[in-house]
């Protein structure tokens, strides 16, 4: 049992306190309930842009990193389609520095055309480097658009297209900030060498006077049930053909999530997994293959992806994956596979809980999902997944009409194949 306390400020900021006196450090994690799914379809990439803007100076603190470094602290952030998360780790003696810095940028960023222009250029270069010029970098752009037709998961966290970032205006940015980055839309977790009374006093001192922000109800268009298989073929300058197959699955808070997570472990997590053993080692059709899910708050995707061995046709590889999944549907998983998957997940969770920052992050995330005590109940949910639960997930997810297939072909291989046929 990992202990914690919880309180809420009058402005709606939820605060989790986890005491760990075995460390001289404190982890300070603030999670905002905003991600790429909350963006205007014509102005995407804003949540990720804010990950950069939030380090560009706030109303009373022109330089964020300098005072934190002087206090012996480190920080970072990440953005997903569902959330935006900022975290700090620093010595317990300097805990108030974290409250000061984070409260000031929650109060208001130092909005300026110069700051926006700098970060807009940084994000634009990131978009080009990782999603346009990098081999296979646009895979998720294609796959999301193929799988989602209504829900905003249809675009990547960095945005739907580059021009949305390049054309971002200061007023658009201000409006997005004051809608989403407010106390009532945030969860703060302070973990480490501190106590409830200290955190209460500091939270009230630094965050208590920040306006709560306007209340709004998230109303996203649900993704309709997929009624027919979808397929897309893309050619690109990549060294090897690749196959991506995605199926819709339930969201993070749904009971099916745990069975689906176990299923991905069995199918494609590591060299001992079922797909690797069959399609890489035995049939030698793929050089590597994996299975995972997006872990989305709303209904997400379970994905199988693999790079093909040179000379293997994409249709042959696709048929082999389909055959492996049909065998799975017919026979299910074995008791040994279920046991190994449970044990592996348990080991990963126990190992993760040894890290102070990970604990702070998880507490905040679970509170956002509805209950910080999920920190103590999640493992039990995995361990209680039965063989029948996994089979039900298999039967629900791996329906042919629920499948989205992206065949990502190497232009060089396609040209060589065409020349062979002509000869």
Distance from the Cα of residue 79 to its chain's centroid? 7
> Which letter does DSSP use for residue 14 in this model?
E
Q: Are 29 and 360 in contact (CB under 8 A)?
A: yes
Element housing 190 (H / E): strand 186-192
- The pLDDT score that the predictor gives to residue 115 is 87
**Position 2 pLDDT exceeds 90:** yes
Burial of 269 (0-12, 13-18, 19+ CB in 10 A): buried
Average pLDDT for 402-420:
79
Q: What percent of the chain has pLDDT over 90?
A: 89
* Pair 95, 140 in one domain: yes
Residue 250 CA, distance from chain mean position = 15
Considering the domain architecture, whether residues 166 and 67 belong to the same structural domain is answered as yes
Q: Which residue has the tokens 């596979």?
A: 337
Gyration radius from the chain CA atoms? 23
Q: What is the DSSP letter of 253?
A: T
Task: Give 10's DSSP letter.
Answer: T
Place of tokens 């060498």: 193
Same domain, 195 and 275: no
Q: Do residues 62 and 169 both lie within one domain?
A: yes
Q: Are residues 245 and 374 in the same domain?
A: yes
Cβ pair 382, 218 in contact under 8 A: no
Residue 217 domain-assigned?
no
Q: In angstroms, rounded to a whole number, what is the distance separating the alpha carbons of residues 72 and 57? A: 19
Q: Which residue has the tokens 């700098």?
A: 118
Report how far residue 356's alpha carbon sits from residue 360's, in angstroms, rounded to the nearest whole number: 6
Per-residue tokens: 229: 């298989």
Same domain, 293 and 353: yes
Residue-wise pLDDT tens digits, 100-143: 999 999 999 988 888 899 999 999 999 999 999 999 999 999 99
* pLDDT mean over 43-68: 90
* Nearest to 112, CA basis, from 159, 70, 67, 58: 58
Enter the DSSP assignment of 138.
T
Give the ranges where 89-182 is alpha helix by DSSP (H): 95-107, 113-127, 139-147, 162-166, 170-180
In the predicted model, is pLDDT for residue 423 greater than 60?
Answer: no
How would DSSP label each residue in 288-323?
A: EEEEEE---SSS-EEEEEEEEPTT--HHHHHHHHHH
How sure is the predictor about 54, in pLDDT bands with cuts at 50, 70 and 90? confident
Please determine, for residue 415, whether its predicted confidence score (pLDDT) is greater than 70: no
pLDDT at residue 418 greater than cutoff 60:
no
Over residues 11-28, the pLDDT tens digits come to 999 999 999 999 999 999
Element (H, E) at 405: strand 403-410
Q: Are residues 274 and 417 in the same domain?
A: yes
Same domain, 203 and 294: no
Let me know whether 183 and 104 are in one domain.
Answer: yes
222 is a domain residue: no
pLDDT, tens only, 246-276:
999 999 999 999 999 999 999 999 999 999 9
> How many C-beta neighbours within 10 Å does residue 87 have?
22
At 413 the pLDDT is: 72
* Structure confidence by residue, pLDDT tens digits, 328-349: 999 999 999 999 999 999 999 9
Tokens of 264: 């991905």
Mark whether 81 and 193 lie in a shared domain. yes
In the chain, the number of structural domains is 2
Q: Give the per-residue pLDDT at 82.
A: 98
What are φ and ψ of residue 106, in 5° steps?
-75, -35
Quick one: tokens of 28? 């300070």
Question: Residue 417: is its pLDDT beyond 60?
Answer: no
Domain boundary at 207, 222, 240, which?
207
Task: Please check whether residue 125 lies inside any domain of the structure.
Answer: yes
Average pLDDT of the chain is 94
- In a shared domain, residues 44 and 167: yes
Interval 68-80: pLDDT, tens: 999 999 999 999 9
115 and 66 together in one domain: yes
The CA distance from 118 to 55, in Å, is 12
Q: Which domain holds residue 133?
A: 5-207
pLDDT bracket for residue 422 (50, 70, 90): low
Residue 218, in any domain of the structure: no
Q: Is the pLDDT of residue 388 over 60?
A: yes
Asked if the structure places residue 225 within a domain, the reply is: no
Domain with 417 in it: what CATH number?
3.30.830.10
What value does the mean pLDDT take over residues 155-167?
Answer: 92
């Amino acid at each position: 049992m990992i202990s914690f306390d919880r309180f809420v400020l009058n402005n709606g900021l939820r605060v989790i306190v986890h005491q760990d006196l075995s460390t001289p450090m404190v982890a300070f994690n603030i999670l905002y309930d905003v991600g790429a799914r909350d963006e205007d379809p014509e102005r995407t990439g804003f949540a990720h842009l804010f990950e950069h803007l939030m380090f560009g100076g706030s109303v009373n603190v022109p330089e964020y990193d300098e005072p934190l470094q002087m206090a012996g602290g480190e920080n970072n952030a990440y953005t997903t389609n569902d959330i935006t998360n900022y975290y700090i780790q620093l010595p317990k003696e300097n805990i108030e520095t974290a409250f000061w810095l984070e409260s000031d940028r929650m109060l208001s960023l130092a909005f300026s055309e110069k700051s926006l222009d700098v970060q807009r250029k940084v994000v634009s270069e990131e978009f080009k480097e990782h999603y346009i010029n990098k081999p296979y970098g646009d895979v998720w752009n294609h796959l999301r658009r193929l799988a989602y037709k209504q829900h905003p998961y249809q675009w990547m966290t960095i945005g739907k297209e580059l021009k949305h970032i390049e054309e971002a205006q200061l007023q658009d940015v201000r409006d997005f900030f004051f809608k989403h980055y407010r106390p009532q839309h945030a969860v703060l977790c302070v973990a480490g060498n501190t106590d409830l009374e200290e955190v209460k006093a500091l939270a009230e001192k630094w965050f208590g006077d920040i306006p709560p922000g306007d209340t709004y109800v998230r109303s996203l268009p649900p993704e309709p049930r997929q009624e027919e298989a979808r397929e897309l073929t893309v050619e690109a300058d990549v060294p090897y053909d690749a196959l991506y197959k995605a199926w819709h699955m339930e969201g993070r808070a749904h009971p099916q999530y745990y069975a689906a997570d176990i299923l991905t472990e069995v199918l494609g997590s590591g060299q001992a997994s079922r797909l690797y053993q069959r399609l890489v080692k035995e049939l030698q059709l793929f050089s590597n293959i994996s299975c995972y899910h997006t872990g989305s708050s709303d209904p997400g995707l379970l994905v199988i992806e693999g790079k093909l061995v040179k000379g293997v046709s994409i249709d042959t590889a696709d048929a082999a994956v389909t055959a492996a999944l049909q065998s799975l549907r017919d026979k299910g998983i074995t008791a040994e596979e279920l046991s190994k998957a449970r044990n592996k997940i348990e080991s990963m969770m126990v190992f993760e809980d040894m890290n102070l920052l990970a604990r702070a992050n998880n507490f905040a995330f679970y509170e956002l999902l509805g209950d910080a005590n999920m920190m103590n109940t999640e493992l039990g949910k995995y361990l209680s997944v039965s063989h029948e639960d996994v089979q039900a997930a298999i039967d629900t997810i791996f329906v042919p009409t629920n499948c989205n297939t992206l065949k990502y072909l190497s232009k060089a291989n396609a040209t060589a194949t065409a020349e062979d046929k002509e000869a």
